[in-house]
Amino acid sequence: MDRMTQAPPQPDAMLAWMECLSDPTRLRLLRLLERNELGVAELCDVLQLPQSSVSRHLKVLSDQGWARSRRQGTNNLYRTVLDELEPAARRLWVLAREQTAPWATARQDEQRLTQLLRDKQSDSQAFFATAAARWDRLRDELYGRGFARSAMLALLPSDWVVADLACGTGQVSAEIANCVRQVIAVDNSAAMLKAAKRRTAEMPNVDLRRGDLEALPIEAGECDAALLLLALTYVPDPEAVVKEMSRVLKPGGRAVIVDLERHDREDFRMEMGQQHCGIDPTNLEKLMRDAGFSQASTRPLAPEPNIKGPALFLTTGTAHN
Ligand SMILES: C[S@@+](CC[C@H](N)C(=O)[O-])C[C@H]1O[C@@H](n2cnc3c(N)ncnc32)[C@H](O)[C@@H]1O
């Protein structure tokens, strides 16, 4: 335990505090470190003092519990720990700070610190001035892609119930389960649901239900949003599915449908067991309006590099049943 946080205070505590504050360099250091975490070299620059002198005073401040350092790379960064001081020591510091404010050296320290912080910021500006062209690749290499997706998913209202219709192996259900109150995941394939069950085993708010898109095992108005991804090409009667989506949504609930654009790859359709060579989004929007959705709108999705399937579109609508 360091000296300043010892309880009860030593009888000579006040003398130790005053001794610590009785040096102008230490007072200047405390002023700088109160709002900024700084390394020894930076402090030398600002105080215009040699490293030996700065280090000696930092050691006193650290030993006496006024400052603390942490390692960053090859540097030690220092900052004050005034909020950990005894209240009486803090009061003493407040007085010392007030009395040192008009010092010319203190004002010059402030100016040099402002310049130093500006230079540090321009280091990052210089970095991004040259990194713009390679930033996307660098970002992927350094941090991956998943974090941005997690950030965007966190925009979902946490009290929502979301239906993942034709959930397949539960990829989407598993991703959004962390961000919403409940996911109702529906599929009519026992094999796909088994895989979804394995994937979401540790997610108690994923409710897997076996059933058909044309007669969903979901109460009317149970959901705030419904997703239907890559499923409409499999159903003979998309109209019935769109009506069911409308039924299970609350008024104002959001429907999001992603599917294949119309294409002429009959071999692809047959291989994937689909009923239709893609879906016409204009027809889909009409089905949605007829089913009680408003603001049905579609946008094409930019194809990702190296994908082999037909292009995709995304249609959204708001239920107002
Ligand atoms: C291509 S997968 C897509 C799965 C998931 N949405 C995804 O994006 O990975 C299509 C899913 O729809 C399900 N499916 C097809 N027709 C269905 C129907 N009439 N009722 C319920 N599920 C159906 C299949 O079992 C399959 O899991």
Report the amino acid identity of residue 320: H
Instruction: Inform me whether the pLDDT recorded for 4 exceeds 70.
Output: no
Q: What does the pLDDT look like over 244-255, one tens digit per residue?
A: 999 999 999 999
Q: Label each residue of 2-28 as H, E or C.
A: CHHHCCCCCCCHHHHHHHHCCCHHHHH
Instruction: Inform me whether the pLDDT recorded for 261 exceeds 50.
Output: yes
Rounded mean pLDDT of 311-317?
97
Mutation to probe ligand 1, out of 232, 234, 242, 244 (largest number of atoms < 8 A from CB): 234
CA distance 237 to 241: 7
Confidence category of residue 83, pLDDT binned at 50, 70, 90: confident
Other CB atoms within 10 A of residue 71 CB: 8
Instruction: Inform me whether the pLDDT recorded for 291 exceeds 50.
Output: yes
Q: What does the pLDDT look like over 156-188, one tens digit per residue?
A: 999 999 999 999 999 999 999 999 999 999 999
What is the domain class of 146-319 according to CATH? alpha beta
Q: Any idea which residue has 């010319």 for tokens?
A: 104
Q: How many helices (H) and strands (E) does the chain have?
A: 13, 10
5 vs 106, residue with greater confidence: 106
Confidence category of residue 321, pLDDT binned at 50, 70, 90: low
Q: Which segments of the chain belong to CATH 3.40.50.150?
A: 146-319
Confidence category of residue 318, pLDDT binned at 50, 70, 90: very high
The answer, yes or no, to whether any atom of ligand 1 lies below 6 A from the CB of 256, is no
Q: Which pLDDT score, from 0 to 100, does residue 230 have?
A: 98
Rounded mean pLDDT of 86-109?
95
Handedness of CA 10, 11, 17, 19 (dihedral sign): negative
Residue count of the chain: 321
Rounded percentage of the chain residues whose pLDDT exceeds 70: 96
52 vs 133, residue with greater confidence: 52
Atom index in ligand 1 nearest the CA of residue 241 equals: 19
Rounded mean pLDDT of 211-219?
98
Atom 27, ligand 1: residue with shortest CA distance = 168
CA distance 150 to 175: 8
CA distance 88 to 99: 17
Q: Which pLDDT score, from 0 to 100, does residue 129 have?
A: 80
At CB < 8 A and 24+ separation, what contacts does 102-110 make?
103/24, 105/24, 105/28, 106/27, 106/28, 106/31, 109/28, 109/31, 109/32, 109/46, 109/47, 110/31
The answer, yes or no, to whether any atom of ligand 1 lies below 6 A from the CB of 235, is yes
Measured at the CA of 84, the angle between CA 82 and CA 86, to 5 degrees, comes to 90
DSSP result, 267-283: HHHHHTT-SSSSB-HHH
Atom 2, ligand 1: residue with shortest CA distance = 168
Whether residue 39 contacts residue 77, with contact meaning beta carbons closer than 8 Å, is answered with yes
Measured at the CA of 69, the angle between CA 65 and CA 75, to 5 degrees, comes to 155
Mean pLDDT of the chain: 93
Q: Any idea which residue has 């700065």 for tokens?
A: 54
Q: Which segments of the chain belong to CATH 1.10.10.10?
A: 3-137
Specify the fold of 3-137: Arc Repressor Mutant, subunit A (1.10.10)
Cis peptide before 310 (omega within 30 of 0): no
Contacts of 303 (CB under 8 A, 6+ apart): 311, 312
Q: Strand 206-210 to strand 182-187: parallel, antiparallel, or no bridges (unpaired)? A: parallel
Rounded percentage of the chain residues whose pLDDT exceeds 90: 83
Instruction: Inform me whether the pLDDT recorded for 306 exceeds 90.
Output: no
Confidence category of residue 1, pLDDT binned at 50, 70, 90: very low
Q: Which pLDDT score, from 0 to 100, does residue 8 have?
A: 53
Helix (H) or strand (E) holding 153: helix 146-153
Helix (H) or strand (E) holding 89: helix 87-100
Q: Which pLDDT score, from 0 to 100, does residue 2 have?
A: 47
Atom 12, ligand 1: residue with shortest CA distance = 166
Atom index in ligand 1 nearest the CA of residue 165 equals: 6
CA 125 to chain centre: 23
Total-model pTM = 0.73
**The token pair that represents 234 in the structure block:** 């499999």
Rounded mean pLDDT of 26-42?
95
Residue 189's Cβ-side half-sphere holds a number of Cα atoms within 13 Å equal to 12
Confidence category of residue 118, pLDDT binned at 50, 70, 90: confident
The answer, yes or no, to whether any atom of ligand 1 lies below 6 A from the CB of 166, is yes
